[in-house]
Amino acid sequence: MGVGTSSIVGVALVGLLTLTGCNPPSENGSDTPVDGSPSTSSAPDEGASDELVESALYPGAWATPIEQALTPDQDRFEAVSESSALAVEQCMIERGFTRFVAKREARPIQRYYGVIDPDVARVWGYTAPSTAGEETDDPNAAPPMENAPLAEEDIALAGTDESRTEEVTLPDGTVVARYDPEACWNIGRLQVQPHLFEMVALQMQLENMLNNASMTVENSAEFREAYDEWAACVVDKGETNPPFPDGLYGTVSSSSGEVSAEEISEAVAHAECKGETGFLREWSQLRVEAEQELIAQTPGPLAEYVALAEETYSGGS
């Protein structure tokens, strides 16, 4: 996340810099990456459906209602991302920053199930390719200056603490972010995505629902039974019995920066057993059912988000 040459945006607008946001990894683990397949539509039909749908993100899993809502169509996402970046750049040019280049956003990636693809596990272990090496920057680089003055470009792009007067709030009044309405990052984005901040607030509500559903699933007898069958499969392949429930995301870690043979061996066994025992199917179906129950109780956030996402990606205003 972030924009161009500026480092201030990631601090100033945490949670606001993706088009529709992205979910954090489940629990403490990483996941297999998206398979590159775009969704077939920009958003699912409004509300929840009882019909199970194959996940475009996780081969072998069922797609959950919230997962579908938060995963925009690849082509439409890229088009809106490009238009937004161009609008930000034009604003910066008008303020004298003619060489500024805005970063084009990548489609949000959700991660829930730990590693699920044996082929990915054989190369990356538990680390998704999209995140591998992110913390291996130049060791000789100078550390950032504390309390360094903001560059004029940063201020034009994202504003300052004092100028971020607009708030993004949840229905209970919780402030999830603040932004500067006169900063180019927001002027440009809102020209293309007029409902951006409404969608951010709704996304936060959906993520809370998703997390609550996941907790319900992991506390269920059905999940524990499926987990134990999966764990037995892992042991049969010669690996350590994975402790419940954190074992889903691996018990071996590589501290050297390179993926160890031990991590790869365990990750492959975990991924294979999620398919062989049907655990991935069962886990995802339980998540579908838990999300549907919460959506039935509080349908507003999903319905509103889907409507705004459809308007955003179809070019509406």
Domain that includes residue 207, residue range: 9-115+130-219+301-313
Q: For residue range 87-105, what is the model confidence (pLDDT) as tens digits?
A: 999 999 999 999 999 888 8
CA distance 108 to 38: 12
Q: For residue range 121-153, what is the model confidence (pLDDT) as tens digits?
A: 999 898 766 544 343 344 444 444 444 455 999
- For residue 309, being part of any structural domain is answered with yes
Sort 256 into a burial class: Cβ within 10 Å, 0-12 / 13-18 / 19+. Answer: exposed
- For residue 238, being part of any structural domain is answered with no
Q: For residue range 2-22, what is the model confidence (pLDDT) as tens digits?
A: 333 332 232 223 333 333 233
- For residue 246, being part of any structural domain is answered with no
Contact 19, 72 (CB under 8 A): yes
Q: How many domains does the chain have?
A: 1
- For residue 2, being part of any structural domain is answered with no
Q: For residue range 101-127, what is the model confidence (pLDDT) as tens digits?
A: 988 887 766 568 988 999 999 998 987
Q: What angle do CA 51, 115, 58 make, to 5 degrees?
A: 25
Q: Which residues contact 16 (CB under 8 A, 6 or more apart)?
A: 168, 177, 179, 196, 197, 200
- For residue 275, being part of any structural domain is answered with no
Residue 161 CA to its chain's centroid (Å): 26
Here the tokens at position 315 are 């070019």
- For residue 248, being part of any structural domain is answered with no
- For residue 306, being part of any structural domain is answered with yes
Local confidence band at 294 (pLDDT 50, 70, 90 cut-offs): very high
- Residue 284 sits at φ, ψ, to 5 deg, of -70, -35
Local confidence band at 286 (pLDDT 50, 70, 90 cut-offs): very high
CA distance 194 to 1: 19
